Structure formats: structure tokens, C-alpha cells
Amino acid sequence: MRGASALEDLLRKSQDPSLRAFVVWEPVIWTDVTPPLTSVLARVSDRRAAQLWDQGRLVAADLLKAIQADMAEDDANRPDDDTIVWDCVAIYPPGSRWEERLPAPAFIDCPVVRAIEEVARRLSSSPAAAAR
Amino acid sequence: MIPARLRKPALLTAIVASVVLVAGAYLRFAPRRVPAGQHALVHLDAGNHRTLRDDFNAAVGGTRLLVLLSPT
């Protein structure tokens, strides 16, 4: 929940009209039995955001594969196949396209509330800098 | 008739069951409205998974954030 509020703060401060945020809500803990209520969805009110309910954690699986494909198999930080990607924020720079598979993000970190400062720093630079 | 010694537990059980039912019904049927200006909440599944990909690619000219969160 704090991650959603942190994202909203970030969007409020960003003036970039081409910025888009895809907010994927997914069940992770036992209380996540239903899609987010209106009060939860209201935490991200920026018009540049799109909100989705991903009951089957399909996007998390896509993102996990993208991260794994981008890392060497013997990398100690490479996530296991059973890792659930959640409370994370990923940056995709302009030009990055989702073809057959979701591409690896230019930046990803978790939890959102902790990562958001670095995301803001990258967004405040040139778009290309977001990739660094 | 419920014996007197069982009335209190039975009443408590009925109250708890009612609360659970009401809460469950609320969670099941409560509205899920996104803020004004956003597209309606998309319920992703294997059949419409492509929707996100299409929207992601439609915004290829800008930076995109992909944020994964738990609703509770």
C-alpha cells in the first residue's frame, strides 16, 4: 500500500506527459482474495497510470523470465523459478518493445517505497538516463 | 430449544458467521472503480494478457514504469 502512495507521489512530481505507469495488482498474501477495492485503486490517481488485476500473476512470471534471461545462470543474484516478483518497480526506457517476450527492464528494484527515490532520480534525467 | 448453557456460544457463533458473510459479500461485490481519467480496471488472464503488451508497446515513445503490488 505504501508502494502505491510512493508511486503516486512520484507521478505527481513528474511533468513528463509521455510517462506511463502500469500498476499490476496481484495476489501475494492470503488477504489478497479479491481485486483491489476502489479505495485501494484511488491511491494511484494519476491519469498516466493504468491499473490491472492479475489473479494468475502472469505479469510477475513474465518479468521473472525477463530478469532471469538477462542474468548469467551462475549469477548468485539470479532469482529462482519459484520467486514471486511483487512490490517492485521496473523502468523501461523509450523504444523498449514487448515482442515475443517482455524485455528485461533497464532498472528494477524492490520494495517500491525504497526504490522510488532512485526511480525519481533516473526519471528526472534524460529519458536515456533512465536506462542507466 | 437450545439449552441455556449453549445459548451464549451459539449466539457468538451466529454473530461471527454473520460478520464473515457480510465481509465476504462486501469484498466480492464492492465496486472496483479506478480514478477519473484512467481506463477501467483490467482483469488479466491468459485470454487478454496481450492487452497489456499492446498498451505497453503503444506507449513506446515514452518511459514506462511497471509496478507490481499486492492489494493488501
ipTM score of complex: 0.92
Domain boundaries, chain B: 4-58
Q: Which chain A residues in 83-112 lie under 8 Å from chain B, judged by CB atoms?
A: 85-98, 102, 105, 112
Question: Are residues A22 and B64, on separate chains, in Cβ contact within 8 Å?
Answer: yes
Is the minimum CB–CB distance between A64 and chain B shorter than 8 Å?
no
Question: What is the number of structural domains in chain A?
Answer: 1
B42: nearest CA partner in chain A: A52
pLDDT tens digits for range B6-55:
888 889 999 999 998 888 877 777 788 999 999 999 999 999 989 999 99
Chain B residue numbers touching A56 (CB-CB < 8 A): 44-46
- Whether residue A105 has a cis bond before it, omega within 30° of 0: no
Owner of C-alpha cell 528526472: A124
A88-92 and B64-69 as β-strands: parallel, antiparallel, unpaired?
A: antiparallel
CA distance linking residue A110 with residue B68, whole number of Å: 10
Q: Tens digit of pLDDT for each residue in A80-127? A: 898 999 999 999 999 999 999 999 999 999 999 999 999 999 999 865
A16-46 pLDDT tens trace: 999 999 999 999 988 888 999 999 999 999 9
pTM of this structure: 0.86
